[in-house]
Amino acid sequence: MRDGYDTSPFNPVPAVVWLLVLPIAAMELVLSAGEGGLAGGAMGVGWRQDAFQRFALAPAMLRQMIDTGQWNPDFLMRFLTYGFVHLSPVQALFGGIFTLALGKFVAEVFRPWAVLAVFFGAQIVAGVVYSLVPYTQFALVGAYPAAYGLIGAFTFILSARLGAVNANRARAFGMIGFLIGIQLVFALIYGGTWDLAAKIVGFATGFVMSFVVAPGGPAYLLARMRQR
């Protein structure tokens, strides 16, 4: 066999990315199977609602803990679990695709622990801010805030590479600008919820965290501060 003909046409996905994507996929497969009558019998139809009760983050949870001063372990766990349950198979599909694509790019530059830190850091901070916004009522679910954290890390990497060749760093923000613009248009046409705020916070968290967790991050941050 000629050299190169036995290699895969697809670049391998780092294990840390599968660690994030597979729980999303597994959860949705189980919930969809229940809704489709393929598993769980009559009980399976209600599995998604039961998953919301167990894993979703209701804004009132954080507000209640702050008001009472009692930190409920179940409520605190929701900041880590809400990203793995979705409203529909379509939402789960795109959440998984975003996580897979952006996670692969980021994981090729960041160490595995840094990828996890960005993903869950963005998810936690987005959940906190979303819960503290006075007008939020609907429970927060889905991988998007965490995936937007990976977009933040992706933007950081592009910005660093553009800066290294003295190119316009603003080009690195093209993806997030496009995504937010599209969602604002849809929100104006069809109405929207405050979950867009959680995505923006997730992006900002991932971008800022990258100054610390990226390879050479603290040194890069110090150099940028000296330039100012």
| Cα gap 151→29, rounded to integer Å | 25
| Cα gap 13→5, rounded to integer Å | 20
* Structural domain includes residue 5: no
Domain that holds residue 183: 15-227
* Structural domain includes residue 2: no
CATH number at residue 68: 1.20.1540.10
Structurally, the chain folds into a number of domains equal to: 1
* Alpha helix segments (H runs only) across 36-88: 41-44, 47-55, 59-68, 73-81
pTM, rounded to two decimals: 0.87
pLDDT at residue 182, rounded to an integer: 84
* Structural domain includes residue 6: no
pLDDT at residue 1, rounded to an integer: 43
pLDDT at residue 218, rounded to an integer: 64
Helix (DSSP H) and strand (DSSP E) numbers for the chain: 11, 0
pLDDT at residue 17, rounded to an integer: 96
* Structural domain includes residue 142: yes
* Structural domain includes residue 60: yes
Mean pLDDT, contiguous 10-residue spans, the chain (228 residues): 49 91 95 86 85 94 94 95 94 94 94 96 96 87 96 93 83 86 78 80 96 77 56
